A and B are shown apart, each in its own frame.
Chain A
Amino acid sequence: MRPLTRRLCFLNASLIVCAAGCASDGPKITATFNQGAALVGELPMNPLAWRVISSAIDPGSGTMSTLYGNDAAVTYARTHSQHDFPAGSALSLVTWTQMEDARWFGAKLPSQVKSVEFVTVTATQNGAPQYSYEAYTGNPLKKAQDRPYGAPPDRIAYLLSSPAAVMP
């Protein structure tokens, strides 16, 4: 190889090495799931398979929640400002602790699931609505024996009275 060619080759090689090695000085961000926020445990229904009714943030406890509903519940909530959900409706409030968003300064994301609450609506024989409430807590999620958020009637009222978030 002639010296000039050799020199050019060296220059070329160093340019290629630089293009490959020097260009990424930022933190390495890769396509990952938010593994910690997954709902792991024994749940009777999967709220993530449902649609969103609304959401909430409690800065005091550093948590954020999403209220999901099955088809009956979502259809009702998006067309009625009353709270008389029909029999067959199921609503679920999933609450996560929050974490800073590593990809956007100024945002917080769901971190670890803290609780999953369910309200289901059935009808008694005379047609009157009947409500039931369950809460799941812990990691993995297990049916709570205590009352993590207070009396069930209060929680039923809270879940059913949350107005649907406007989604035109």
Chain B
Amino acid sequence: MCAEGGEVVSMRKAFAWLAGVLVIAVAGIQFLRPKLANPPVTADLDAPPEVKKILQTSCYNCHSNETKLPWFDRVVPAYWIAARDVKLDRAHLNFSEIGKPPAAQQKAALYESVSQIELGAMPLPDYRRVHPESVIHPEELAALKSYLTPAVPLPPSTQNEISAADAQYEKWIQAAGATPAVSPAPNGIAFLSDYKNWKAISSTDRFDNHTMRQILGNDIAVQAIAENHIDPWPDGAAFAKVAWLEQVDDKGSIRPGAFFQVEFMIRDSKKYAETLGWGWARWRGLELTPYGKDANFTSECVGCHRPLAGTNYVFTPPIRGQL
């Protein structure tokens, strides 16, 4: 301590005054409370008790209508953050209403949740630190995965599914490579009709939603793979992920059925700085209908890809050797 006696006294006074003002201010803002109600549980998750318990403990506080805030989250300003986050989180995934959409969509939400948990993105790292009881332990993650892993092989495709795929194929063959007029995505990205001539960098078998996919890369992407420049990917690199419904024959073998969608990631670190440095777009069906009501559809893409900061937000580990 090198300060003079008088200086210490005046500093103490200043501190006491400041502390007083703070106490009054903090007490005052406690009355500024946005409404955070628990609406009725209308279509709660239907899952075995051991699975449900894990999700209730770790996810329900933000992703259900059964939010139970601990005392320290009820104190403003923490309460403001909690109220805002719970509203956003419920809009994205709400276990109290998950029974409402079609079964396939419910399942997709659960698979996405498990992927986010496995990547360490959920529960949010900041949330986990303050709420250690929400941490999902390896054996709990294993229980969630085993609940979702299909126990029986896919049944053969129905005659209706096969006829629909055949009709689509005939129409496409008849068009003989003519590109239909395609509307741009709601964020302004134009359809890249040459994607089908890009080179394959991987494929995926999506047993979560019964689609099979090819991941194709444009010339810049393929060059980047050859030169080991994928962290980050160079501007101009683009990927197309083409998805088909899995068509299953009597022996259980699977081949592409109806074309389902093609989605794009287009790298431009400046132009698309607000969406992780990538432009996102998706078109569905043989008619190539743009996906998304408005430009905000990209929040879905970004939400799913965000945990992959370590790979420049790309899921696919590329296979090398195209050049």
Seen from chain A, the residues whose Cβ lies within 8 Å of a Cβ on chain B are 2-4, 22-35, 37-39, 46, 48-52, 54-60, 64, 66, 68, 78-81, 98, 101, 103-110, 162-168
Contact = CB atoms under 8 A, between A and B. Distances in A.
Given A68-B200, A108-B204, 14 more contacts: A22-B125, A33-B318, A33-B320, A34-B318, A49-B199, A51-B198, A52-B214, A55-B214, A57-B205, A57-B253, A60-B253, A103-B115, A104-B115, A165-B244
Interface stretch (B32-40, B173-181, B290-298): B173-181
Contacts of B230: 31, 33
B321 A109 contact: no
A31 B320 CA distance: 13
A110 to B, nearest CB: 6
A34 B317 CA distance: 5
B206 A168 contact: no
A101 B207 CA distance: 11
A59 B11 contact: no
Nearest to A56: B255
A166 B3 contact: no
A106 B212 contact: no
A106 B319 contact: no
The DSSP consensus for interface residues of chain B is mixed
- Assign chain B's interface to a size class: 35 or more
Given A3-B3, A106-B209, A168-B172, A66 B200 contact: yes
Given A25-B120, A27-B120, A105-B111, A46 B321 contact: yes
Top 9 A-B pairs, shortest CB-CB distance: A26-B120, A106-B208, A31-B231, A166-B259, A57-B254, A165-B256, A167-B196, A106-B111, A108-B205
Interface stretch (B23-31, B45-53, B79-87, B307-315): B307-315
Given A3-B3, A166-B169, A167-B242, A23 B125 contact: yes
A112 B322 CA distance: 17
Given A22-B129, A55-B214, A106 B206 contact: yes
B227 interface: no
Interface string B184-204: 000000000001111110111
Contacts of B216: 52
Contact of B169 (A22, A24, A25, A163): A163
B180 to A, nearest CB: 7
A48 B209 contact: no
